[in-house]
Amino acid sequence: MRVRRLATPALLAHAVLIQAVAFLLRPAAVYQAIQLGVPAWALGALGASFALVPLLIALPTGGLVDRVGARAVMAVGSLVAVGAAAVLLLAGGSVAGLLVGIALLGAGHVGCVVGQQTVVAGGSGGTRLDSRFGYYTFAASLGQAIGPAFIPVFAGGSVRPDPAPLFLVGGVLAVLLLAVTAGIRGPAPHGRTPEEASPGSTLGLLRVPGLARALLTSATVVAAVDLTVVYLPALGAERGLPAGVVGALLTVRALASMASRLLLGAATARLGRTRVMVGGIVISALCLVLVALPAPPVLLFVAVAALGLGLGIGQPITMSWLIERTPADRHGRALALRLAGNRLGLIALPSLLGALAAAAGAGGVLIGTGAAVGATLLLLRGVRLD
């Protein structure tokens, strides 16, 4: 795929919109759950519901992308996202409705993201691939900033806002997402016969040296991003922070991730992927702990901004590294395998940290997340990312 095709407004707009939908609807669902009396330790179930269905369908979705093309799968994913917003708006007054709506959102998200990443994956490798994934994830971070920015608009100074207007805005964005899909021009599906396809199963990709550890690192970092979306609102509610402040914190985190991704190609060309990845992990681990500690709002914003810089690095590096090590006709499957690992992390890490929420509240979960992110440095020992 040519760089000019990669940079089409439709693809980047699609990346922005799916993340905006997810990062608006999910905090809104947390506020709704809090209003329904769901305790902090049980909020991880919302994160798990976002991850469980995608975990089950990610690998088949990757195979489908390779066979029928990215745009068709992205269209289906966009339609499911519209349905998710409708369920949250109409049935979000119950815990069951919240869980179903967020599960549908996760399913739509995985279809859109695997399709987008497969489109991005075409072209040359090396630092140019880092740059392309950096620009793509920059667009995704822009969506992650736009989504929470609607919270202060509708919530004002309320600590526990009415989520219904947020669900409605998320639905409008999801309809736009579906419309934008028509303008995307992705690579043609391979449509190869089994005899022509590259040998080996999707899970067989795990035999690539260092791949399993790199995917586990990626899953932990993605889970850390996800847990900030769930537990920053919970932390704000515990400390009496207005919802507008929490929305601004989530937006600042996303903007900082945008900055790190925009400069990623230059950074990896100068320092190498390994050094950049290690630096991002160290910054992320330290700042997750700092965010959880009592501090004035100004210091909280500084810590969240640094956290965004660190968390923004892991995803594009692991994506470009993975693509360089897989055949072109298996890019969709490889990216889906990475996404499945990420979704497994979204289930496992919140479940492991749920006891901390019961004992130490949302701050305890964020500290535990920082420890988990820091521990991934051990996984990267001996892995050659460059």
Q: Specify the range with the lowest mean pLDDT, choosing from 114-118, 148-152, 158-162, 351-355.
A: 351-355
Q: For residue 65, give its domain range.
A: 10-184+208-379
Which residue would you say has higher pLDDT here, 179 or 9? Answer: 179
Describe the crossing of helices 243-262 and 297-324 by its angle, rounded to 10 degrees. 40
Q: Find the mean pLDDT for residues 3-8.
A: 48
The answer to the question of residue 34 being in a domain is yes
Q: Does residue 283 register a pLDDT over 80? A: yes
The answer to the question of residue 256 being in a domain is yes
pLDDT digits (tens, 9 = 90+) for 322-372: 777 777 777 777 788 888 887 787 778 777 776 666 677 788 888 989 999
Contact by Cβ (8 Å): 345, 44 = no
pLDDT at 90 (0 to 100): 96
Which residue would you say has higher pLDDT here, 245 or 186? Answer: 245
pLDDT at 123 (0 to 100): 54
Contact by Cβ (8 Å): 22, 150 = no
**What's the angle, vertex CA 319, arms to CA 193 and CA 111, rounded to 5?**
60
pLDDT at 244 (0 to 100): 85
Q: Which tokens sit at 52?
A: 């469980």
Q: Does residue 241 register a pLDDT over 60? A: yes
pLDDT at 4 (0 to 100): 47
The answer to the question of residue 26 being in a domain is yes
pLDDT at 119 (0 to 100): 87
The answer to the question of residue 198 being in a domain is no
Q: Does residue 239 register a pLDDT over 80? A: yes
Q: Does residue 288 register a pLDDT over 90? A: yes
Q: Find the mean pLDDT for residues 129-147.
A: 85
Q: Tokens 């305890």 identify what position?
A: 364
Q: What share of the chain is helix, strand, coil (3-state, %, to 5)?
A: 85, 0, 15
pLDDT at 341 (0 to 100): 82
pLDDT digits (tens, 9 = 90+) for 79-136: 999 999 999 999 999 999 999 999 999 999 999 999 998 888 765 555 577 778 888 8
Q: Does residue 228 register a pLDDT over 80? A: yes
The answer to the question of residue 354 being in a domain is yes
pLDDT at 186 (0 to 100): 65
Our count of domains for the chain comes to 1
Q: Does residue 192 register a pLDDT over 70? A: no
How far apart CA 148 and CA 21 sit, in angstroms, is 9
**What's the angle, vertex CA 21, arms to CA 18 and CA 22, rounded to 5?**
85
Q: Tokens 């967020």 identify what position?
A: 102
Dihedral in degrees, nearest 10, Cα atoms 30, 139, 370, 25: 0
pLDDT digits (tens, 9 = 90+) for 164-191: 999 999 999 999 999 999 888 766 565 5
The answer to the question of residue 192 being in a domain is no
The answer to the question of residue 245 being in a domain is yes
Whether pTM > 0.85 for this model: the answer is no
How far apart CA 204 and CA 206 sit, in angstroms, is 5
Q: Does residue 222 register a pLDDT over 90? A: no
Q: What's the mean per-residue pLDDT of the chain?
A: 84
pLDDT digits (tens, 9 = 90+) for 11-24: 999 999 999 999 99
The answer to the question of residue 1 being in a domain is no
pLDDT at 202 (0 to 100): 64
CA 212 from chain centre, in angstroms, equals 19
**What's the angle, vertex CA 262, arms to CA 258 and CA 268, rounded to 5?**
120
pLDDT at 43 (0 to 100): 78
Which residue would you say has higher pLDDT here, 384 or 35? Answer: 35
Q: Find the mean pLDDT for residues 269-278.
A: 89
List the CATH number of the domain containing 212: 1.20.1250.20
Name the DSSP class of 189.
Answer: P
